[in-house]
Amino acid sequence: MKTPVLAPSLLSADFSSLERAIKQIEDNNGSVVHIDVMDGDFVPEITYGQPVVRSIRKLTKLPFDVHLMTWHPEKQVKTFAEAGADWITFHLEACVHAHRIIQQIHELGKKAGVSIVPSTPISSIKEILECADIILVMTVNPGYGGQKLIPSCLKKVSELKKLREENNYNYLISVDGGVNNDTLQSVIDAGADVIVSGSSFFNGSLNWKA
């Protein structure tokens, strides 16, 4: 995959027509569909679950990155894999046995992503960098679209890039939250491989050069 790639987040789509939203993603340089799953507890709101993923799976061949903002992600990975997720990304802060969950996702034949909120340092995920396929750096506090990017979080992206070079790791670095035309270049410069965009993609303002 030639990076950086754009991963539009369905969170900011018009839910009354997810078919149209998927088409917008395909027609506007989206390479991955980012699907934010919220449980109303790890984050305040509730979005959608496996039945929705299952139903939109038939609309596109693009990979689905399911971003689980849920407690106990280990209870969800199998059913999201069966529903059609290609990448399953869970929060380090939502579980104890991150390493085991990565193994569980790999056993299901899917890519494993680990996400960290703005207050979590890279040192907390050092032990799993070797086996994760994606590290998703949240650049806003998770839960809502349309927030402002926290610039200090981008230091973690550069740090991950350096660690990958030094250790020959293979993960992709993904950035999620507050990406718009004012912040896009700083996210690319920091070294992101996958750039998630919700509100600026779906309001048509994001100027992504393919």
Find the length of the chain: 210
Q: Pairing state of beta strands 5-8 and 33-38?
A: unpaired
Helix (H, G, I), strand (E, B) or coil at 142: coil
Query: How far is it, in rounded angstroms, from Cα 177 to Cα 195?
Result: 9
* Residue 73 interacting entry, from Zn ion, ligand DX5, none, C-beta within 5 to 8 Å by type: none
CB-nearest residue to ligand DX5 = 198
Is the CB of residue 40 less than 8 Å from the CB of residue 71?
no
Q: What's the min distance (Å) between Cβ of 167 and Zn ion?
A: 26
41 is a catalytic site residue: no
In the bound state with Zn ion, the residue whose beta carbon lies nearer, of 104 and 115, is 115
* Residue 143 interacting entry, from ligand DX5, Zn ion, none, C-beta within 5 to 8 Å by type: ligand DX5
Active-site hit among 65, 133, 176, 193 = 176
Q: Is 30 in the site for ligand DX5 (CB under 6 A)?
A: no
For residue 205, how far is the Cα from the chain centroid?
Answer: 20
**DSSP string spanning 40-64?**
SSSSS-B---HHHHHHHGGG--SPE
Q: Is 9 in the site for ligand DX5 (CB under 6 A)?
A: yes
CB-nearest residue to Zn ion = 67
Piece of the chain touching ligand DX5 by CB under 6 A; list 14-22, 119-127, 170-178, 186-194: 170-178
Helix (H, G, I), strand (E, B) or coil at 16: helix
In the bound state with Zn ion, the residue whose beta carbon lies nearer, of 89 and 104, is 89
* Chosen residue from 65, 133, 176, 193 binding ligand DX5 by CB under 6 A: 176
Q: Is 140 in the site for ligand DX5 (CB under 6 A)?
A: yes
Tell me how crowded residue 26 is: count the other CB atoms within 10 A of its CB. Answer: 16
Catalytic residues: 36, 176
